[in-house]
Structure 1
Amino acid sequence: MTLHNKLFMSNLELEGENCPAWDFITDEDWQSVLNNFVFKIADSFAFAGVFKKADLFPDGLSYFGDWVLEAGGLVEADDDIVCMFQLNESCKAKLLQYEFAVHNFKSEKFSDYYEFDQLYFFSGERLIANYINHEGMIVFLDLNDNEAILIESLDPHLKAAFVDSSAFAAAFNANRYS
């Protein structure tokens, strides 16, 4: 069985003077990729830097008060130990609201928002996706053949936004050394 590493980037350009270049993920694309791909293969998720459920409620932040968060075990992701949460219907609905990662609230300690730079998705304990908010990309790791085939069922413009990680690295290196 072949394992596939893919990147999802909107309007990705792998050729030209300023390559690689891409746009931030739109709300519609985020929702479609989650509903038609990620939610079909993932059963849990985690936030970078969140070791326990209480980490989501610093200094009275109540943003997660209406999420049904069912904590699972701890797992390693991207050199971080994180608490996995079940990807239940409540969490799916909240994650579909693309701006969940940046939410406003009043605090003297934080400057008007609490942002999650990375969100991880798992199948069992296997890390399958890493959404990097500030980069506007989703990194898919070690997808099996059946999971990779699901990409082919996506809308053409979404399917075109998936690229092999090696192709992206080659374009980056070609531009860097030219």
Structure 2
Amino acid sequence: MALHNKLFLIDLNLEGPNAPSWDFMSDEYWQNVLDNFVFKIADSFAFAGVSKTADLFPKGLDYFSDWQLDIIELVEADDDIVCKFNLNDNCKKHFRKFEFAVHSFESKEFNDYYEFDQLYFFSGERLVAIYINHESMIDFLDLTDDETVLIEALETHIKASFVDSAVFTDAFKNR
């Protein structure tokens, strides 16, 4: 069985002086990829830099107070030790809101506070996706043949945003 690495980037441009370049993800793309791909292969998730639920509530912020965060275990992901949570229906509901990680509030200390920089999705013990918030990119790692078949079932404009990681890497090297 082959393993596949894919990137999800909106309107990827691999040529020209600014290549590679891509657009920010819209709510439609985010929700479509989550519902029709990520949620079909992932059963748990973790936030970068979060090794305990208290890390999600710095200085009394309570953005995650209505999330049902069922802790599974501590795991290593992308050179980080993180707390892995069950990807339950409650968390899926919150993830569907593309701007779930950014919120504004009255505070002298925080302005548009980001709860995380990266979000990890797992299938069992295997890290299958990294959503990089500030890059508007999803990096899919070691997908099985069966998992990549799900990409073909996506809407044409959505599946067109999946590219082999090697293609993107080559474009970066050729700049």
Q: When the two structures are superposed, what TM-score results if normalisation uses the length of structure 1? A: 0.95
Match of 1:19 in 2: 19
Q: Which runs of 5+ in 1 are unaligned?
A: none
Amino acid aligned to 2:152: E
How far does residue 106 in structure 1 lie from its aligned partner after superposition? 2.8
- The Cα offsets for residues 64-119 of structure 1, whole Å up to 9 and x where unpaired, read as 11111101101111100000111000000000000011112233332342341100
Q: 2: distance between equivalents of 1:148 and 1:6?
A: 9
Question: In the alignment, does 2:37 pair up with 1:37?
Answer: yes
Paired with 1:56 and 1:107, the residues of 2 have a C-alpha distance of 17
Partner Cα separation in structure 2 for residue 114 and residue 3 of structure 1: 32
Alpha-carbon deviations, 1:31-74, whole Å to 9, x = none? 00000000000000111000011111111111111111101101
List alignment gaps of at least 5 residues for structure 2.
none
Does the aligned pair in 2 maintain the 1:45–1:85 contact within 8 Å?
yes
- Residues 1:10 and 2:18 are matched in the alignment: no
Q: How many Å separate the matches in 1 of 2:24 and 2:69?
A: 28
* Structure 1 runs, 4 residues or longer, greater than 3 Å off: none
Contact 1:104/1:114 (CA < 8 Å) preserved in 2?
no
Q: Which amino acid counterpart does residue 75 of structure 1 have in structure 2?
A: V
Q: What is the RMSD of the two structures over their aligned residues, measured on CA atoms? A: 1.0
CA distance in 2 between counterparts of 1:105 and 1:65 reads 15
Matched, 1:116 2:116: yes
Letter in 2 for 1:37: F
Distance 1:5 1:140, change over 3 A: same
Residue type matched to 1:171 in 2? A
CA contact (8 A) 1:106 1:112 kept: no
Q: Could you say which residue in structure 2 is the equivalent of 1:56?
A: 56
**TM-score, structure 2 normalization:** 0.96
Q: What is the match of residue 75 of structure 1?
A: 75
Asked whether the 8 Å contact 1:71–1:84 carries over to 2, the reply is yes
